[in-house]
Amino acid sequence: MIQIIKKRLISSIPTLFGVSLLAFILIRLVPGDPVLLLLGERGADPKVYAEMQANLGLNKPLVQQYFSFMGNALRGDLGQSILSKKSVLDEFAQRFPATFELGLMGMIFAVVLGLPLGVLAAVKRRKFWDYFLMSGSLVGYSMPIFWWGLILILFFSIQLGITPVSGRISPYLDIQDYTGFMLIDGFLSEGFSGLKDAFLHLLLPSIALGTVPLAAIARMTRSSLLEVLGEDYIRTAKAKGLGFKTVVLGHALKNALIPIITIIGLMFGSILTGAILTETIFSWPGIGKWIVASVTSRDYPVIQGGVLLISIIIIAVNLIVDILYLWVNPMMRAKH
């Protein structure tokens, strides 16, 4: 197991360098000068402009800027934001709990509904429930998140008044920042009233974010389970008179888990990197909203450091998925 982890980590090094180089180049191809945006009208003064460029290190050749950034990154220094003057790593750490909390709740929503719906569709193959659920999953997978999020706000927040429109917590509550996770901090600060308020703020963004993964998990569960249900050992188990739970849930579903784990891991990795549309619609102070604001303001250090940290998260999630493969499938453990 340790050797597998070492191989994955070594193979991820070129990926990190490639992603960092791509982010470094692409942001500089976007029209706009961060120094001019920062100085405003004072940018017309060449001396002030040149001094600010020198202070930010933007007057150096691009090759030197890139290797300077990577050299500092290898020492754990991702630079400072041009706008806030705060450490990129600190700003990322400040916003990551919000994205993680939202992503985790979205994936719980997707897995808790997606798995049983996929199993039901596979068991009821070519019947009403199969067609109904798969049609619904296709709609859910194709639905634009910005439209779906606005519909949820309009119905649950505006019409019914059940949930808040945006944000993580109501402003009238005195919430102390113990962990960065609002469900925990709300409970520790205000008891069950704080927990309820944080949950209601989290509900709609989680549904909006989890709809696409839910549809993908349901479809993958159905197709993978149908393939396993056609195997000889499943027919033998049915011929022996074994019940539904034993055949489908005890034997078939476990052997169908590998592609399901794959799609869950990929979806969760993408969610943790910042659900840009969801965070923007619901004013959720997470990584995605932070990156979008940085692109708008041409905050080079934030974009470079943020993309590098996002890549590390995706690699870590993929590594966890690989380890789960080995745990679920003994044959893969034997190969390694």
Q: What are phi and psi of 33, to 5 degrees?
A: -115, 120
Q: Is the pLDDT of residue 20 over 70?
A: yes
pTM of the full predicted structure? 0.83
CB 157 within 8 A of CB 164: yes
Average pLDDT (260-279) is 79
Angle CA 218–223–228, to nearest 5:
120
Average pLDDT (112-137) is 88
Reported as a pLDDT band with limits 50, 70 and 90, residue 139 is confident
- What is the DSSP-derived secondary structure letter of residue 41? G
> How far is the C-alpha of 238 from the C-alpha of 232, rounded, in Å?
10
What pLDDT digit, counting tens, does each position of 206-228 carry?
Answer: 999 989 889 989 988 888 888 88
What pLDDT digit, counting tens, does each position of 74-116 carry?
Answer: 888 888 888 888 898 999 989 999 999 998 999 999 999 999 9
* pLDDT reported for residue 202: 93
Amino acid (1-letter code) at residue 93: A
* pLDDT reported for residue 206: 92
Q: Is the pLDDT of residue 286 over 80?
A: yes
CB 220 within 8 A of CB 208: no
| Domain range 88-335, CATH class | mainly alpha
Least confident range of 16-20, 47-51, 308-312: 47-51
Provide the CA 287 distance to its chain's centre, in angstroms.
Answer: 9
What ranges do the domains of the chain cover?
2-74, 88-335
Longest dimension (CA), the chain: 87
Reported as a pLDDT band with limits 50, 70 and 90, residue 333 is low
* pLDDT reported for residue 291: 86
